[in-house]
Amino acid sequence: MKDAQIIVLATPVFLALIALEWVVGLARRRNTYRLHDAMASIGLGMLSQVVGLFTKLLMIGLYTMLFDRLALVKLPTDAPWVWLSGLLLYDFLYYWKHRFGHTVALMWAAHVVHHQSEDYNLSTALRQTSTDWVAGWLFYLPMALLGFPPLVFGVVALIDLLYQYWVHTQQIGRLGWFDRVFCSPSNHRVHHAVNDPYVDKNYGGILILWDRLFGTFRDEREDEPCVYGTRSPLRSWNPLWANLEVYAALALDSWRAERWADKVRLWFMPPGWRPADLQRRYPKPPFDLRAVQRFDPPASPLAKAVSALLFVGMLGGTVLLLWHAHTLALSTQLLAFAGLLAGMSLVGWLGSGRAGAPARAAAA
């Protein structure tokens, strides 16, 4: 069975858990959902899965080629210890990939998509980048060199990804000893927060032990409630801009920088780093947590209803595409991708408050 089909089978579970979390939040009077934020997050996950139809073959192909030609040994697929050690090694490499995703601007440009939501709920877990193929796959090549077969790599990668779904919630509190060993909702809330004590902490995928070992662990504090999002807010529901905004900002800064060395360094320094000449000519104010305001443009009931119906149609179309993708021509897949991007862009536009704006202005 293809990875895309496994995701399709998991989709009803994802959506059912989102519905359950929403109901629990309403019952507790701690609702963490907003319609357009949730649709934007899920839509970005849909887009990521469709882009994966074009990029996974490249990444798995490179992994397989390296495994076939350069593996030190070729480990068996029928030994339980191979699967267990493969999962442990994958999680270790994921920690470093994730850490670089926050400390190297080029990799942050891809990973930022997952952090753009200013809400924190199970729909946030589905908010995934469409550009991880730019550099993220490099971190897992040691597994090929050590002889982990492509099948083992693919399965443990999926396990690691699926595990992380449930930790994106505010409805589960502290879990005692579990928080000390594993990535948990409490630990991962810290990771998504922009508060000073929490920034760039808790990178672990399944195990939080990596953070404790390498000095990046931070406990959630009752006196420091998490504020979610990024320090340079997206302020848009548009999926294309969500994926390209940081790349565009880096390209502009690189163009404006005076020194050639700085034009290159910008892409590999920590996010937010800028040479002195650029900061002098195009200053950016420092981040102020007290000034944070969630992006929440008003949308009319009609715009909400139309965007929700369109979103359901896009979700259904994506499920069909992912299930049948292996039987479709590349041209058909590309056409479907373009339709999804256009449809989700329209959903975002309807939720941005712009639909009906001229009518409101005229009425005023």
109-127 per-position pLDDT tens digit: 999 999 999 999 999 999 9
Residue 207 backbone phi and psi in degrees, to 5:
-100, 130
For helices 150-163 and 3-28, angle between their N-to-C axes, nearest 10 degrees = 10
pLDDT of residue 362: 35
316's tokens? 């259904």
pLDDT of residue 5: 85
Q: The pTM is what?
A: 0.93
**In terms of pLDDT, which residue wins out, 1 or 196?**
196
96's tokens? 């470093």
Average pLDDT, the chain: 94
The alpha carbon of residue 165 and the mean position of all alpha carbons in its chain are separated, in whole angstroms, by: 11
Give 1's pLDDT tier (boundaries 50, 70, 90).
low
Average pLDDT over residues 351-355: 77
Residue 95 backbone phi and psi in degrees, to 5:
-55, -45
Give 61's pLDDT tier (boundaries 50, 70, 90).
confident
Q: Can you tell me the distance from the alpha carbon of 262 to that of 19, in angstroms, rounded to the nearest whole number?
A: 48
One-letter-per-residue 3-state SS of the chain: CCHHHHHHHHHHHHHHHHHHHHHHHHHHCCCCCCHHHHHHHHHHHHHHHHHHHHHHHHHHHHHHHHHHHHCCCCCCCCCHHHHHHHHHHHHHHHHHHHHHHHHCHHHHHHHHHHHCCCCCCHHHHCCCCCCHHHCHHHHHHHHHHCCCCHHHHHHHHHHHHHHCCCCCCCCCCCCCHHHHHECCHHHHHHHHECCCCCCCCCCCCCECHHHHHHCCCCCCCCCCCCCECCCCCCCCCCHHHHHHHHHHHHHHHHHHCCCHHHHHHCCCCCCCCCCHHHHHHCCCCCCCHHHCCCCCCCCCHHHHHHHHHHHHHHHHHHHHHHHHHHHCCHHHHHHHHHHHHHHHHHHHHHHCCCCCHHHHHHHC
Average pLDDT over residues 28-42: 97
pLDDT of residue 360: 41
Average pLDDT over residues 145-155: 96
Residue 272 backbone phi and psi in degrees, to 5:
95, -15
296-315, pLDDT tens digit by residue? 999 999 999 999 999 999 99
259-280, pLDDT tens digit by residue? 999 999 999 999 999 999 999 9
pLDDT of residue 354: 66
Phi/psi zone of residue 272: left (φ > 0), alpha (ψ -120 to 50 degrees), beta? Answer: left
Q: How many CB atoms lie within 10 A of CB 151?
A: 11
